[in-house]
Amino acid sequence: MRLAKFLAHAGVASRRAAEEVVRAGRVTVGGEVVRDPARDVDASSGVAVDGAPVGGPEGRVVHLLHKPAGVVSTARDPQGRPTVVDLVPAGGRLYPVGRLDADATGLILVTNDGELAQLLTHPRHEVPRTYRATVAGGPVSAAALRRLREGIELEDGPTAPARARRVAGGVIELELHEGRNRQVKRMCAAVGHPVRALQRVRFGPLRLGDLAPGEHRRLSAAEVERLRRAALGR
């Protein structure tokens, strides 16, 4: 197995990130630094990252977490803030699939399956994500919803059309197929409705459901397969 794939399967990082870890000289095989992500290795090769041994591929797991506000969507935080990984004690290396702003809440996936994480977050697969936004500026008008559906011109270019519906006077749901930084907040602000609170309620075929903030559950094999099929457009 190629070294980058071995590291991804072992839960070190996504395959793309694992390639960068290797090129940075952080990986040794049999005690020697290796910078070639395509190097063939197996569980008996003595692979280590930053001096810590990496065993064979772990059992792959995916957890659905209800991220609370104030928790960051990273595996570790240099500022010492709580992370989504801290909330899912699984006894192995885990990392989040994509990001949610620290003040946002809702559905985020945490996994040790680097290949699946890369599949779900790659822009070409356009896995839909649905957000519920509580906004300022009074009841959201039909004209504002129409602009959101048609696409908004932002400083980094126009957004793709989104599905938008009004849940209540100042609450809307947006389904996006893109993953730009702070996209929902910027789109809503552009139509005169700054976001006061934001929650992701759906990721592909998965819904947040009735999980309380901070709670998580492990996805079944069938749910993981549905996610994979959603990313592949099947």
Catalytic site residues?
A: 101
Question: What does DSSP assign to residue 83?
Answer: B
H-helix or E-strand containing 202?
A: strand 195-203
Distance between CA 98 and CA 114 in Å, rounded? 12
Structure tokens at 102: 């620290």
H-helix or E-strand containing 114?
A: helix 114-121
Structure tokens at 5: 């794939």
CA angle centred on 117, ends 53 and 173, rounded to 5°: 145
Please give the C-alpha separations between residue 115 and each of 42, 57, 84, 111, in angstroms, as whole numbers: 17, 12, 19, 10
> What is the β-pairing status of strands 105-111 and 195-203?
parallel
Identify residue 175 by its one-letter amino acid code: E
Distance between CA 5 and CA 20 in Å, rounded? 12
3-class SS at 138?
A: coil
Secondary structure (DSSP) of 75-138: S--TT---BTGGG---SS--EEES---TT-EEEEEEES-HHHHHHHH-GGG---EEEEEEESSS
